[in-house]
Amino acid sequence: MPIRLGELAERFGCELNGDPDVLIENVAALANAGPESLTFLSGSSFKKQLSSTKAAAVVLRADDVGDCPTASLVSDNPYASYAKMAAVIHPAPVFEPGIHPSAVISPAASVSASANVAANAVIEDDVIVGENAVIGAGSFVGPGCRLGNDCRLHANVTLVRAVVTGDRCIFHSGSVIGSDGFGNAMTPEGWIRIPQVGGVIIGNDVEIGASTTVDCGAIDNTIIGDGVRLDNQIQIGHNVHIGEHTAMASGCAIAGSAVIGKRCMFAGMSGVAGHIEICDDVVVSGKAMVSKSITQPGVYAGMFPAETVSSWNRRVASFRRLGKLLDRVSRLEKKDT
Amino acid sequence: MPIRLGELAERFGCELNGDPDVLIENVAALANAGPESLTFLSGSSFKKQLSSTKAAAVVLRADDVGDCPTASLVSDNPYASYAKMAAVIHPAPVFEPGIHPSAVISPAASVSASANVAANAVIEDDVIVGENAVIGAGSFVGPGCRLGNDCRLHANVTLVRAVVTGDRCIFHSGSVIGSDGFGNAMTPEGWIRIPQVGGVIIGNDVEIGASTTVDCGAIDNTIIGDGVRLDNQIQIGHNVHIGEHTAMASGCAIAGSAVIGKRCMFAGMSGVAGHIEICDDVVVSGKAMVSKSITQPGVYAGMFPAETVSSWNRRVASFRRLGKLLDRVSRLEKKDT
Amino acid sequence: MPIRLGELAERFGCELNGDPDVLIENVAALANAGPESLTFLSGSSFKKQLSSTKAAAVVLRADDVGDCPTASLVSDNPYASYAKMAAVIHPAPVFEPGIHPSAVISPAASVSASANVAANAVIEDDVIVGENAVIGAGSFVGPGCRLGNDCRLHANVTLVRAVVTGDRCIFHSGSVIGSDGFGNAMTPEGWIRIPQVGGVIIGNDVEIGASTTVDCGAIDNTIIGDGVRLDNQIQIGHNVHIGEHTAMASGCAIAGSAVIGKRCMFAGMSGVAGHIEICDDVVVSGKAMVSKSITQPGVYAGMFPAETVSSWNRRVASFRRLGKLLDRVSRLEKKDT
């Protein structure tokens, strides 16, 4: 949706350096932007691309205005301002209210008249779907689910049962929410399964990535706080609590009953052991495994970066001699005294 | 389903301390249980919650009876006894026999009259679906599959082709069984794919988690033994054999042709290299990577737990000086002699 | 499809030692092959099985002919020759052109008359499906997608939107392509999402595994080159570029904006940090994490193999004493001089 630069500046409270009547038609990366595009400069790593940008306008910090060869929109948080503007320039698709004739909806479900239910979606008994909700093609909303207003399930999402959400949640394709937790008791005859009778409670403004799985609680509920962001291919075990505005990148796995604080950030492929607690404002680096509770905010890590295999193999060999090395040094010290 | 305490005691062979006529209506966690709830005490970590529980009754070991402020059911394996009782109190949903009109079933498939096939499920040629099987909404059962009795596919499960199961297997949403293995031969023109013509043979009482994938065999079959438990987001490569009653937590990946013994346990995010063998009764810790065959039962590990990034970075720096340190100590020893 | 040995030899340019009129009916592993089976010997690890094989014929290197107790087909690359022959003996299923009546296809989509669209598939506006394409049951092809000729989507695949492919691509069940990337900007009110407006461009002859996810670009496109092979459960972040003929085994995760060269190979569970570059012909070992750009071809590693937990725990304890050990050795050296 084309929009005037002046209108962007006004709507999002940015100082404009440049012609307010320039029309913005799309967003683009700093290096590829053309004269109809809005772009942004956030960190310092792209700063060198600024001087040669062909964008119509750049959202940037006040410090960078002098180096900008085109119009600029000044913001203390250029990335966030860009996000808001981009949402206006490229608005989310609008879905007309209605239920596709191929969708299968239980008579015991209550679907808002303003909702859109796409082809081949299935909605089971005792479901409530809120206003303006969008249920994507092939998605399944199982018994006892309650979806707030303005939620969107992309195609082929599965809410197994007893998933209760706030408003404005987004579920990406392939995600599975409310599947049984992994509860098994060993007996002489083998494993017997523990019935998983809890649900999943999801706050407002939560986004859950493609092929991410969130198990229902074993007895109580699994809880995902307001504003949580889960990327793709993440596993959240039963009874986990995730605090508000915590974000996890792809491939993380959180074992059952872990309690995670607010505003935490987990880089990709990191993991958390079961039954531990992580306080607010913890950052976990890529591939790190948190195996004990964390009580202090801060950054935690535990990964060796890859290097050439010959170098790495030497290090592993050295590492295996470390126990003996400690003894050898102790011996030297003893002699030395 | 409400049930008398006395009936639970009798049916599951537990000594009852308390009024047999108390009605149990649900299960609950020790700390949250109310006067209509059954709960349990298994390990020692929740022991401190016992004295203040408000549950109707607690399943516990004989040693803990004295500390229990309410009725108790005594068991040598409280968790397993609780599991069996919970399955009575919260029985699995019952599905009426029948085929939803929107399901698409090949005339060349044989579906038991007692099976339930839900909305938009698709069943292909040459499939046999056993008695009381439940095929969830949107699930796909591809050519040549044979499902035993009392199996359940949750919504949006995919059995690609040639998957043969025993009885009482459970497949959670998003799981994909019988997909092609990753077989490619390099040529000067690029990769060419190796046809994957084997199937997947699954025993009785197997449970496969949400978004878990099990590839078909390249030539022979991939084999999953009786009673195996796979959590969510697991990958099982082609030709893998998994022995009976082995359990894997979420995020594990088992590379092609690995052979894994019986009663093994894999913690989350652990991995197994291709073409190796792991004997019975092996436990693999979280995030560990088994790269060589294991011939002795026991616990295996290989993960550094996360710590503060400053501390971890110092360790990595020290680690990189280890090779030289070995030389320095050798020099000191030489001088010393 | 039964085929004469002589025809295989001629078609694929292999020297035949044996009776050209023997009929091959299937492929089998060296150890299990019967008198109607073709098998192959590629590496040295199966060499010991050669002398006792009961196969009709073995594809092998010239050096191994003398040890072969049955007919042989000689090739410089036995695995590749076997792959081609196996594709003739076990041809891929043929799908008749046609659209299943339960499929839902937008009038604004263009589906080739030679394509096969299976039950309950959904094809949205502004989609082009090329010749002989197969759209599996329950699959979703979202707005703006363009599929080349001879592509196959297995059952329950999701192409979210704006996915453009070359010819002969294969998408396995549960894969999700074109889902939104993980782009969020922090504000005092919490995360706000960055609209993800790019698409996914996929070359010719690409194969994408079960439950693998490929995000669309944030602004520009995510790009997967010709001949790329992605196994199951892989995550490809937004704006990633993967060069031609690169292959990744299951469980890898590539963070946003990483650029990966041609002919690279990633073993299972390895990872790549965002915004880095990896040159052509790099091999990354299992579970390794590439956190900096790689400019030299070669093999890179960073994983400690699992060992017994007692041994591993001792190593971790030693490792934690390493910083102090360095100091102790420095002290000894100082005294020594």
What DSSP string describes A58-96? Answer: EEE-GGGGGG-SSEEEE-SSHHHHHHHHHHHHSPPPP--
Phi and psi torsions of B43, nearest 5° = -80, -170
Q: How many CB atoms lie within 10 A of CB B13?
A: 12
Q: What is the pLDDT of residues A45-90, one digit of tens each?
A: 889 999 999 999 999 999 999 999 999 999 999 999 999 999 999 9
User: Cα distance from A34 to chain C (closest Cα, Å)?
Assistant: 13
Task: Give the model's confidence band at B44: pLDDT under 50 very low, under 70 low, under 90 confident, else very high.
Answer: confident
Q: How far apart are CA C330 and CA C324, in angstroms?
A: 10
What share of chain B in percent tops pLDDT 70? Answer: 100
Best A120, A226, A318 member to test C by mutation, with max C CBs in 10 Å, is A120
Contacting residues of A for B262, CB less than 8 Å apart: none
What share of chain A in percent tops pLDDT 90? Answer: 94
Q: How many CB atoms lie within 10 A of CB C128?
A: 17
**Cross-chain residue pair B253–C244, CB shorter than 8 Å:** no
**Cross-chain residue pair B120–C136, CB shorter than 8 Å:** no
Give A267-273's long-range contacts (Cβ < 8 A, gap of 24+): A268/A231, A268/C235, A268/C253, A268/C255, A268/C271, A269/B269, A269/C253, A269/C269, A269/C271, A269/C289, A270/B306, A271/B251, A271/B268, A271/B269, A271/B286, A271/B287, A273/B286
Q: How far apart are CA B102 and CA B233, in angstroms?
A: 29
DSSP SS3 for B300: strand
Q: How many CB atoms lie within 10 A of CB B43?
A: 8
Name the average pLDDT for chain A.
96
C20: left (phi over 0), alpha (psi -120 to 50) or beta: alpha
Contacting residues of A for C120, CB less than 8 Å apart: 102, 120, 138
pLDDT score at C76:
95
CB-CB: which of B220, B270, B304 is closest to C32? B220
Average of pLDDT values for B22-41?
A: 94
Q: Which residue has the tokens 């047999």?
A: B20
Q: How far apart are CA C180 and CA B30, in angstroms?
A: 41
A102: left (phi over 0), alpha (psi -120 to 50) or beta: alpha
pLDDT score at C248:
98
User: Out of B172, B238, B241, B245, which one is annotated catalytic?
Assistant: B238
Q: How far apart are CA C223 and CA C238, in angstroms?
A: 9
CB-CB: which of A27, A155, A323 is closest to C158? A155
pLDDT score at A175:
98
Its ipTM equals: 0.96
pLDDT score at B337:
65
Chains that touch B (3 or more CB pairs under 8 A): A, C
pLDDT score at A43:
79
For residue B304, give the DSSP letter: P
pTM score of the predicted model: 0.97
User: Cα distance from A24 to chain B (closest Cα, Å)?
Assistant: 41
Residue A99, both tokens: 């239920």
User: Cα distance from C153 to chain B (closest Cα, Å)?
Assistant: 12
Instruction: Please list the active-site residues of C.
Output: 238
Residue C82, both tokens: 């076997």
Best B88, B94, B233, B242 member to test A by mutation, with max A CBs in 10 Å, is B233
CB-CB: which of C191, C219, C253 is closest to A27? C219
**Cross-chain residue pair B319–C320, CB shorter than 8 Å:** no
Q: Which amino acid is at B117?
A: V
Cβ atoms of C262 and C242 closer than 8 Å: no
Dihedral of the alpha carbons of B263, B265, B266, B271, in degrees to the nearest 10 = -30
Chains that touch C (3 or more CB pairs under 8 A): A, B
Task: Give the model's confidence band at A337: pLDDT under 50 very low, under 70 low, under 90 confident, else very high.
Answer: low
User: Cα distance from B222 to chain C (closest Cα, Å)?
Assistant: 13
What CA–CA distances, in Å, run from C151 to A301, C98, C155, C184, C205? 43, 15, 13, 34, 9
Best B228, B269, B281 member to test A by mutation, with max A CBs in 10 Å, is B269
Q: How far apart are CA A95 and CA C201, in angstroms?
A: 26
Contacting residues of A for C329, CB less than 8 Å apart: 329
Residue B88, both tokens: 């009575």
**Cross-chain residue pair B275–C45, CB shorter than 8 Å:** yes
Instruction: Please list the active-site residues of A.
Output: 238
* Of residues C147, B86, C87, the one with CA closest to residue A183: B86
Helix locations, chain A, DSSP H: 5-11, 78-89, 309-320, 322-336
CB-CB: which of B180, B304, B318 is closest to C172? B180
CB-CB: which of C244, C306, C320 is closest to B284? C306
* Of residues C257, B114, B329, C20, the one with CA closest to residue A31: C257
**Cross-chain residue pair B300–C323, CB shorter than 8 Å:** no
Q: Which stretches in chain C have pLDDT values below 70?
A: 337
Helix (H) or strand (E) holding B81: helix B78-89
CA B209 from centre of chain? 6
**Which chain C residue is nearest to residue B190, measuring alpha carbons?**
C245
Task: Give the model's confidence band at B254: pLDDT under 50 very low, under 70 low, under 90 confident, else very high.
Answer: very high
Rounded to 5°, the CA angle A10-A13-A16 comes to: 65
C67 burial class (0-12, 13-18, 19+ CB within 10 angstroms)? middle
Cβ atoms of B208 and B175 closer than 8 Å: yes
